[in-house]
Each structure stands twice: as C-alpha cells, then as structure tokens.
C-alpha cells in the first residue's frame, strides 16, 4: 500500500506515475481530492484545538478576575469548540478510511528505471541467453509429447476436476518431483532457508501480500471466507514476519518454498486452454527476500540471477525482460520476467517473474526492521523492502524440457544437471510410464 503522505509531498510525480501504470484517471483524481480533504481536516482540528487551549486559559483568568458572566460565556464557547472538534475528527476519520480503502486498490509506484509503456508489447528485452535448439524434424507441443508418452493425462484430470488440470503419470510425476528437489537444493546453495508453509491462509495474510482486495475473485476461498488457498507461496512467506520488527543485523532474510498454487485464472479465459501453461493448480518453487531499502535493488539482481541459474544449469534458451509500467504486477515497483524458449510455439514464454515490491507489502503487513543503534539511543523502526521471484514455475519448466529435449523417436532426453534427481538420462518412448 502507498503512503498517503506522498500525495502531499510529491503529488504531480506520483499522479503521473500512477497514470503511467494504467490507473483509472477517476481514481487518481479521487486520491488527490482525498489527500486535500485529509490535510484540510487535520488542519481544521489543529486550529480548533489551539482555540480550545486559548479559551481554557481565558476561563481561568476571568474566574480569578471575578467576571462570572465572561466565565459562563467562555464555557459555552468551550462546549461549542469541543462539539466542533468531535465533528471535525469524525470527518477526518471518514476521509482517512475512504483514502485507505481506495489505496488498497491502487498499485505500487513504478521505479524510475522501469520503461514507460502500455502493455507487454512495450516491455524491454535486456538480454538473451543461450541458443534455441535446432531440430531435423518438426518439434511437437508438450501436450502431444506428454500424451504420446503416457506421462500427462488431461482427459482423466478433466473427469476428476474439470478443465485446466492435469494428471502426471509415471515418469511425468517423477520429472515434476525431480525439478522440485533440484530447485530447492539450488535455493539452499544460494543461501535461502527452506520453508514448508501452510497452503490455507487468512484474509489478513492475503491483504498484506497485496492479493486482496484487488484479486479477490481470482483465488479459491473456503465457504465461510475464513481461509483462501494460496495463489503463490509468496503469500505465506511474506507473512512470516507480519507485525514484526527485525534487527538490522538479521537482514537480508532469504526464504524458499515449494508449494502447490491455486488460481482461478478468471482473467485468462480462452488463453492457453491446452497443456500446462495456465492451470488452476500448479507447483512452484518461490524465492522471497526481506531487505534493507538501500540494498533491495542489488537483492533484485541477485534474486533474478538465482532464478536464471536454474535455466542455465538445465541448458535452456531464455531471455530477461524488463516489464514496462503498464505490464507490472500490482505490488511490484520493478519486475524482470524470465522467458524460456518453447520450440513448438516458436516463441518465448514467461517462466519466472522477479520483483522488488519496495515497502508496498511491508506497509500493509507492518513489517519493519530496527537499524543498528548509534551510541546509546535506540533507533526507530523502519519499513523494510520485500522481493519475490519464481525459482521456477515447475510445470512450465517441465514443458520447456519436454519441448527442448524431445528426440525424433518421441523420447525425451533429461538435462545432465537433472539426471541425479530423475534417476535416468531419458524418458524412453517405449517405457515412459515405468
């Protein structure tokens, strides 16, 4: 959530930033008006309180002078001032509540290093790594490969749960498990503490992570709305330190977690209806960092590099893209997307998003750190910065392996780095489900 004070200190810049992010102009105008109304209400209360203090002193002076008629008049004035102060405080509270409710629906401010643009067409490709594989046959899509090998079963998944679900069978399930363990071990190698968090979270956890109220309709909630299934393990990881003050010496804190993730994909009707790219349930290994503000952009580069290392060790061709202002996620100030090459689609597809949310989530969740004391004076707590990234989306990584390492006979070669986890060098066409 944004700090309401920025609408007074640097209004034009903030409003322009939000406009670049695609925030509706009426909301931008309303925020500006509420900021003015809040300031005016505070000033009115302060002015009335000053008058109240003066009048209170006058009562005592006039009482000592024996002017009881003036005392009574001033007491009536005091009563009127107190009534007006209460009225103005109620107005201030209403304005404050209205502003906070609106701010919960407003995205984070973008970093000055983010390219300005309307949508994904305006994103900037920062670098391309590796080379696309060359086939002497027509490469197949992952859903055809998976069904031919008997390792992906979309038909039975639809019978069980409906569309946008999959059953992994045999070597398919083993590939998914191998990728999860490979990614978690790589996270540990990079200094992340592994967490196994709850998959059901309370409303306040979704709110702190920036999922509510903006994405309320995209998550799965229990019938009593007390819990929601996590759309990403970013939610429980960010909430590990909600309402806490962390000592500066402990930062940065780096966590990783494997969890299933659950999303309605309500905003993606008609997109990627076949295959594993867009599922209601999918596995992901997440990376989350708690950082001092002055170090957070260095941490973003580090986190992105950690996610890239998965792709490098698997020998996958990919590119790093800086998202423009109009394509940024709701809570992000800056995001790098990692896009992996999919031969059958002849294009790059997102496999990870690595973002710096600055203090957006920390303000919602009251996550602070206490700077190291200078001398004997105890330092005042400050909001820290949070970062998150997929390290990686497991199903999409399986897609990339199936499509990039497919062989002419229909088998799949397993990347060398993954062989110790998978247990063999290939998924043979003749015995894929063994």
Cis before 392 (ω within 30): yes
Among candidate residues 110, 291, 353, 390, the one labeled active-site is: 353
- Measured distance CA(374)–CA(169) in Å, rounded: 60
Q: Is 305 exposed, middle or buried (0-12, 13-18, 19+ CB in 10 A)?
A: middle
Active site residue 396: yes
Active site residue 61: no
* Strands of the 347-356 sheet, one edge to the other: 124-129, 318-322, 334-342, 347-356, 385-393, 281-291, 253-262, 193-194
- Measured distance CA(166)–CA(282) in Å, rounded: 9
Active site residue 353: yes
Among candidate residues 263, 302, 364, 368, the one labeled active-site is: 263
Among candidate residues 11, 264, 278, 319, the one labeled active-site is: 278
Is the sign of the CA dihedral 309, 321, 340, 176 positive or negative? positive
User: What tokens were used for 262?
Assistant: 């659950």
Among candidate residues 21, 88, 254, 396, the one labeled active-site is: 396
User: What tokens were used for 29?
Assistant: 């105008």
Active site residue 49: no
What DSSP character marks residue 22? T
Q: What is the DSSP string of 249-291?
A: GGPSEEEEEEEEEE---GGGTTSS-SSSSS-SEEEEEEEEEEE
Cβ contact 200:261 at 8 Å:
no
Q: Beta strand pairing status for 193-194 and 253-262?
A: parallel
Active site residue 263: yes
User: Looking only at Cα atoms, what is the longest distance across the chain?
Assistant: 109
Contacts 24+ apart (CB under 8 A), 412-416: 412/145, 412/149, 414/175, 415/313, 415/314, 415/315, 415/316, 416/315
Taking Cα atoms as reference points, which of 58, 50, 55 lies closest to residue 77?
A: 55
Cβ neighbours of residue 302 under 8 Å, at least 6 residues apart?
Answer: none
Among candidate residues 147, 248, 350, 426, the one labeled active-site is: 350
Catalytic site positions: 263, 278, 350, 353, 396
């Amino acid at each position: 959530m944004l700090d309401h004070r920025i609408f007074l200190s640097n209004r034009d810049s903030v409003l322009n930033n939000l406009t670049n992010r695609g925030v509706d102009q009426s909301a931008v105008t309303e925020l500006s008006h509420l900021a003015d109304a809040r300031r005016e209400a505070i000033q009115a209360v302060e002015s009335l309180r000053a008058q109240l203090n003066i009048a209170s002193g006058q009562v005592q002076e006039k009482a000592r002078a024996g002017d009881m008629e003036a005392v009574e008049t001033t007491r009536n004035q005091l009563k009127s001032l107190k009534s007006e102060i209460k009225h103005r405080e109620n107005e201030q509270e209403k304005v404050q509540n209205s502003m906070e409710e609106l701010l919960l629906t407003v995205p984070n401010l973008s970093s000055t290093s983010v390219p300005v643009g309307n949508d994904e067409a305006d994103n900037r490709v920062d670098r391309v790594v590796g080379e696309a594989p060359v086939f002497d046959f027509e490469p197949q899509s992952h859903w055809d490969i998976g069904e031919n090998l008997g390792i992906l079963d979309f038909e039975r998944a639809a019978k069980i749960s409906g569309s946008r679900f999959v059953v992994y069978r045999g070597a398919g399930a083993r590939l998914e498990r191998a990728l999860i363990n490979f990614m978690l071990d790589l996270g540990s190698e990079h200094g992340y503490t592994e967490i196994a968090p709850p998959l059901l979270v309370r409303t306040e956890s979704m709110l702190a992570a920036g999922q509510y109220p903006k994405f309320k309709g995209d998550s799965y909630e229990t019938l009593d709305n007390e819990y929601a299934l996590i759309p990403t393990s970013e939610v429980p990881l960010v909430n590990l330190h909600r309402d806490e003050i962390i000592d500066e010496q402990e930062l940065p804190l780096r966590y990783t977690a494997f969890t299933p993730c659950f999303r309605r994909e309500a905003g993606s009707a008609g997109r990627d209806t076949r295959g594993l790219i867009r599922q209601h349930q999918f596995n992901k290994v997440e990376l989350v960092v708690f950082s001092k503000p002055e170090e957070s952009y260095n941490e973003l580069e580090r986190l992105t590099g950690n996610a890239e290392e998965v792709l490098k060790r698997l020998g996958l061709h990919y590119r790093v893209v800086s998202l423009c202002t109009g394509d940024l996620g709701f809570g992000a100030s800056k995001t790098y997307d990692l896009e992996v090459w999919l031969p059958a689609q002849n294009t790059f597809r997102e496999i990870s998003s690595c973002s710096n949310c600055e203090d957006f989530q920390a303000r919602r969740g009251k996550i602070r750190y206490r700077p190291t004391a200078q001398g004997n004076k105890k330092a005042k707590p400050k909001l820290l910065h949070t970062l998150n990234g997929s390290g990686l989306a497991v199903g999409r990584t399986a897609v990339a392996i199936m499509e990039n390492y497919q062989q002419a006979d229909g088998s799949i070669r397993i990347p060398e780095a993954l062989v110790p986890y998978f247990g063999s060098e290939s998924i043979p066409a003749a015995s894929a489900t063994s």
